[in-house]
A and B are shown apart, each in its own frame.
Chain A
Amino acid sequence: IAGITQAPTSQILAAGRRMTLRCTQDMRHNAMYWYRQDLGLGLRLIHYSNTAGTTGKGEVPDGYSVSRANTDDFPLTLASAVPSQTSVYFCASRVQGTGELFFGEGSRLTVL
């Protein structure tokens, strides 16, 4: 089934630990995105990638890094997690032509 797979679905993490959220799509979409969702703040863009090999900063990039080695994968890394990074993280890809963003199911991260 074509779509976006995010992993893990849920994770509890100790502060200071390194964590990578995985995102894989099989739709061959060029552009991919990472958003975090917090109550009352909506969806905030962390990083994005126009195409494989390029990345860009969004609204709230500090504390996060991304890489785009190929079209399908767009992992998000927290180098040293802090409690304020507790959130639900959504990966999305942009449908060619329509501009529609297609979202994954999300990864719920709790940093203690």
Chain B
Amino acid sequence: GQQVMQIPQYQHVQEGEDFTTYCNSSTTLSNIQWYKQRPGGHPVFLIQLVKSGEVKKQKRLTFQFGEAKKNSSLHITATQTTDVGTYFCAGNSGTYKYIFGTGTRLKVLA
């Protein structure tokens, strides 16, 4: 079945440093979504990418979808303490199923 891997599992950065998490799917995806979960909270939708090679930006966050539609990345520029949380990708292969990656837990040291 479809598998979605995410690296790294953990990342500690100093405030102001950049951060990147990578997502790889075992199958070609129709689209990929990214979510953020604050400690003790529930996942909250950030963005959806649909097109091959697509790049989207949300303020300091940059999301990319690979040309083959099997990988994606989330890059945060100049991290802030408010960026703390776990970031998940979720892949969809054209069905109603959304398979989540294992997540990357980000800690930002002030």
A and B from one assembly? yes
Interface 1/0 per residue, B79-93 and A, CB below 8 Å: 000000000101010
Task: Name the residue among A43, A45, A103 with the largest chain B CB count within 10 angstroms.
Answer: A43
Question: Interface residue tally of chain A, by bracket?
Answer: 20 to 34
Q: Report yes or no: B43 in contact with A100, Cβ–Cβ below 8 A.
A: no
Which B residues touch A45, using CB under 8 A?
Answer: 97-100
A99 to chain B, nearest CB (A): 6
Which B residues touch A33, using CB under 8 A?
Answer: 98
Chain B minimum-CB-distance residue to A43? B100
SS of B interface (majority): strand
Q: Report yes or no: B43 in contact with A43, Cβ–Cβ below 8 A.
A: yes
Interface flag for B39 (CB, 8 Å): no
Which B residues touch A100, using CB under 8 A?
Answer: 33, 45, 48
Q: Report yes or no: A50 in contact with B96, Cβ–Cβ below 8 A.
A: yes
Chain A minimum-CB-distance residue to B9? A40
Chain B minimum-CB-distance residue to A105? B42
Interface 1/0 per residue, A74-94 and B, CB below 8 Å: 000000000000000010101
Interface flag for B31 (CB, 8 Å): yes
Give 29 A-B contacts (CB < 8 Å), ordered by A residue: A41-B102, A42-B101, A42-B102, A42-B103, A43-B43, A43-B88, A43-B90, A43-B100, A43-B103, A45-B97, A45-B100, A48-B96, A48-B97, A56-B97, A58-B97, A59-B1, A90-B43, A92-B43, A94-B96, A98-B48, A99-B48, A100-B33, A101-B33, A101-B35, A101-B43, A102-B45, A103-B43, A103-B44, A106-B42
